Structure 1
Amino acid sequence: MTSAFTTLPLATPLLATLDELNYSATTPVQAQALPHVLAGKDVIVQARTGSGKTAAFALGLLQKLEVQRFRVQSLVLCPTRELADQVAEEIRTLGRGMHNIKVLTLCGGVPQRAQIISLEHGAHIIVGTPGRILDHLNNQRIDFSELTTLVLDEADRMLEMGFQDDLKAIIKTTPKNRQTLLFSATYPSQIEQLATGLLQQPETIVVADAPEQSSIQQAFYSLNGVPRDNAVKRLLQAYQPASCVVFCNTKRATQAMADSLRAQGYSALALHGDLEQKDRDQTLVQFNNRSARILVATDVAARGLDITDLDLVINSEIAHDTDTHVHRIGRTGRAGAEGLAVTLVAEGEQHGLSLIEDLLARQNQQYRIELKALPEQKLLTQEPLAAAMVTLQILGGKKHKLRPGDIVGALTKDNQVPFSEIGKIQVQAAWSYVAVSPEKERVALHVLNNNRLKGRSFRAFRVR
């Protein structure tokens, strides 16, 4: 079920921005949730990652925002910094036609000083993680007395990460007559208990919990005694994906898999909870800009991370539950694109396999999982595909007034680096990243280190 955004009671600037972004029709979650959100009702939404839920609440926040009242009017709580950054960016994008809106991101893993200064200048909308929000509250840096809307995004994930007490403490500081929107991929008993004490006469919306079979093809391979890292390498050589996420169930298995792949020349990076925030950020930058073909990750990467255009998902181990399996494979085949997800199955994992088969059977009564034989070992004699790009970091960013155009202009001056050899550019607060082809790495570094940007000199180096 979808409809045109023009049928909704949205302000003209919001409709104009949606038109500029070529957002004409709502997704199912937006079609079902937005009318209730815009009517000011409390809403519970159960929908998978990639369903368009962020716009479903972002448009509601922006529609009711009183720009002239410079107070915190909306709070969005997220489980991870990556999701908070993504949500804040989407709110800014959707609200760019409205003048002087300030969206502030408050998350752990970064120094507090810049956040404290930003808070002193005020904000309309705050997006952040529970721990850091509570820290600022305890130090009386935030006032939620005029808050009108509270959003819990990926609520199940926040509870899984142990944020329940932090959430309760934060919620106590907000007005009781606020609007509350709860978004969750799953609806376990913990979420039900949280919702009961939090929302008032909520509208409940459940959007299909599994990706459409037409967009994601699944395959299951029997390990038959083959080591998991060897099996993953065979699959990578057989499918030759431009980008692939390999899921593991533990941080130790994730790091071991990534180390094994890199030792054999694969362009692979690890993403798990033991990494420092800076390393997590750089890992995602490199993967998204094609400086690495393979991301080996724990399930933290299954939700909330801005991973796009993914060719292949490999479950090196069966997920602990079917909800997690659904979210893993949902990283591919997004926005209607074709996707492929493969799962490795060892002896003793029949129970988990049966649960997945039951899930698929509910979608297609004729469906039965057939275990395939792994691709042949001789594929490993071939050289792994190299990454298409390399990532350069510039020690200058938004606070230095740098923009993507400044970086492109410097690189392309006198055709030193052709525009076609430049990939994604990300400008952050204190530094920037630019992807270039491996052939132009040395030239690009020479240009960036020996020329001025915005009248200043900045150091640049390759991220490895």
Structure 2
Amino acid sequence: MTHAPFSSLQTLSAAELSNLEQLGFQYMTEIQQQALPPALAQQDIIGQAKTGSGKTAAFGIPLLHKLNQRFFAVQALILCPTRELASQVAEDVRKLARFQANIKVVVLSGGVGIGPQIASLEHGAHVIVGTPGRIKDHLRKGTLDISQVQTLVLDEADRMLDMGFRDDIEHIVGHTPAERHTMLFSATYPANIEQLSRQMQRKPVRISVESVHQSSSIQQRLIICPRNQKPELLIKAIQHFVVEHAVIFCNTKLEVEEVAQRLRMEGYTSLALHGDLEQRDRDEIFVRFKNNSAHFLVATDVAARGLDVDELPVVINYDLPHEREVYTHRIGRTGRAGSTGLAISLAHDKDSFKIAAINALQGMDMHEYPPEKLCRKPSKVTKPNMVTLSLAAGRKDKLRPGDILGALTNDGGIPGSSVGKIDVLEFTAYVAVERSCARQALEHLRTGKIKNKSIKVRRV
């Protein structure tokens, strides 16, 4: 498919196009090319697209295009399954909204205190991004008014239904006007998604972007072995294929902890991510992995929602998922933007039906790799290149990435080239620095000031 430039969309203003170009958006992805024309014409959309397809811009651009910045009421509501995804979507929408002045985007999700959210809502908001449970809490308390919503977005709707949010979603939608623009996006199209669409949309335009990955972009390696040999063969595969940075998917929380612990015993920095963690811990785990401060992130599917890493070289399936579409969703996190990726899957004899289903969906067979060919390469594990520092201040304190960069690199600081990704969250900020100068960076921040204030900082 030939990708058209954003400039071919006649409804976008020069300011919008300029902002998109500054964000690196020149040509539309497939989902954007199919969804934007009808969405900008206010037609309801039901779209199927994989992770990393550009769907946030596909609904974010039409949502902002319709926004009246002088009308200080909630005009758009975006529902997401997890806090991490809500935060990521909100950040993307803020970037897309830079061409307009004073657009306020507020995140409402669980895992954090509701008090600061209520205070934020008292100052008004144009766009709300949140999880169904917390949005429902605000509606019950009367702290959120969505009666003026013009655009409703359900992002990763299949996961919200899997997580049991159906009743909450219906309750929330009941508080929005019947005459609204509704866009629903889902990685899969089970029957309950069709039912949800019929219930909430009017003559939606159905869009499906090919979810099967090109074999040329992702190499798939299938290792079949007895179940009790999987821990050892995981280590062998990591060393054989020289894997230094990867997401490892498990089907249960118990396996997540066991696999992460086994990797630590081998000397790897390994992070375990599942639903039982406190929100602060989850935030730090996401940031550390994205900052290249850890070798591996071991996670369940639900916990990993919202993880968006630009360059992820490898995905490992310690367990094959129960649904074949989930396999496609998992491995779609690698091999993006023209780069090549590697997907390694461990399976046992009783997984033959899962393997057959995945192969049928892809229209091709996963390449089976004999376990006896895997050779351990005993060597000292090198530590990750980056270290993450945490600052006890965030967006609520008017902290910006530039403030942190300036504080790190001013008199007696570290070189700007040694500073990596900077994430400013609501009440916390994280910055990645090269390991070789981590101690100097930590001391420089501790003894210095940011925006004329002393801010507590620690190594994560």
Q: TM-score, normalised by structure 2?
A: 0.96
Letter in 1 for 2:404: I
Map Cα deviations across residues 409-433 of structure 1 (whole Å, 9 max, x no partner): 2322345422222221212222221
Deviation at 1:215, TM superposition (A): 1.1
Residue in 2 aligned with 1:259? Answer: 261
* Aligned with 2:371 (options 370, 373, 387): 373
Which of 162, 167, 170 does residue 168 from structure 1 map onto?
170
Closer/same/farther in 2, CA of residues 7 and 146 from structure 1, 3 Å limit: same
Once the two structures are TM-superposed, the CA of residue 342 in structure 1 deviates from its matched residue by 0.9
Alignment correspondent of 1:405:
402
- Partner in structure 2 of residue 392 of structure 1: 389
Structure 2 equivalent of residue 445 of structure 1: 442
Equivalent of residue 130 in structure 2, options 107, 128, 131: 128
Hey, what does 1:291 align to over in structure 2? Answer: 293
Could you tell me whether the CA contact under 8 Å between 1:234 and 1:375 is conserved in 2? Answer: no
CA distance in 1, matches of 2:109, 2:308: 16
Partner AA of 2:5 in structure 1: A
Offset from partner CA, 1:313-336 (integer Å, 9 cap, x none):
111111111101001111101222
Structure 2: how far apart are the matches of 1:40 and 1:437? 47
- Aligned partners of 2:105, 2:211: CA distance in 1, in Å? 31
Find the aligned partners of 1:400 and 1:374 in 2 and give their Cα distance. Answer: 56
Residue 404 of structure 1 deviates from its aligned partner by 2.3
Query: 1:79 is aligned with what amino acid?
Result: P
* Cα shift at 1:384: 2.2
Find the counterpart in structure 1 of residue 4 from structure 2.
3
- Counterpart Cα distance in 2 of 1:265 and 1:158: 36
| Aligned length in residues | 458
Deviates more, 1:181-190 or 1:294-303: 294-303
Q: CA deviation at 1:47?
A: 1.2
Structure 2 residue 74 is the aligned partner of structure 1 residue 77: no
Quick check: 2:239–2:375 contact (8 Å CA) kept in 1?
no
Tell me the SS of whatever aligns to 2:410.
helix
- Asked if the contact 1:152–1:183 (Cα under 8 Å) also holds between the matched residues in 2, the reply is yes
Structure 2 residue 442 is the aligned partner of structure 1 residue 454: no
SS at match of 1:336: coil
Equivalent residue for 1:420, pick from 400, 407, 417: 417
1:250 corresponding residue in structure 2: 252
Query: Structure 1 residue 294: deviation in Å?
Result: 0.7
- Aligned: 1:268 with 2:275: no
Report how far residue 439 of structure 1 moved: 2.1
Of 438-447 and 265-274, deviating more is 438-447
| Cα pair 2:82 2:305 within 8 Å, conserved | no
**Structure 2 alignment gaps of length 5 or more:** none
Contact conserved, 1:234 with 1:374, CA < 8 A, in 2?
Answer: no
Task: Please give the alpha-carbon distance, in whole angstroms, between the structure 2 residues aligned to 1:74 and 1:225.
Answer: 48
CA distance in 1, matches of 2:201, 2:399: 43
Paired residue type of 1:337: S
1:427-453 Cα shifts (integer Å, max 9, x gaps): 222222111222222212211111122
Bigger shift: 190-199 or 431-440?
431-440
Structure 2 SS opposite 1:436 = strand
Q: Distance in 2 between matches of 1:447 and 1:370?
A: 51
The DSSP-based 3-state class of the residue aligned with 1:126 is strand
Alignment gaps of 5+ in structure 1: none
Contact 1:357 1:369 in 2 (8 A): no
Q: Deviations over 1:166-187 (max 9, x none)?
A: 0010011111111111111101
- Distance between the aligned counterparts of 2:306 and 2:73, measured in 1? 27
CA contact (8 A) 1:237 1:384 kept: no
1:144 aligns to what? 146
**C-alpha deviation, 1:240, in angstroms:** 2.4
Match of 2:431 in 1: 434
Q: Is 1:349 the equivalent of 2:347? A: no
Are 2:315 and 1:313 aligned? yes
Amino acid at match of 2:417: S
* Sequence identity (%): 48
Structure 2 residue 63 is the aligned partner of structure 1 residue 61: yes
Does residue 15 in structure 1 map to residue 17 in structure 2?
Answer: yes
Q: Distance in 1 between the 2:448 and 2:5 partners? A: 49
For residues 129 and 374 of structure 2, what CA distance do their matches in structure 1 show? 48
Report Cα offsets for 1:376-420 as digits up to 9, x if no partner. Answer: 4542x3222321111111222233333222322232234542222
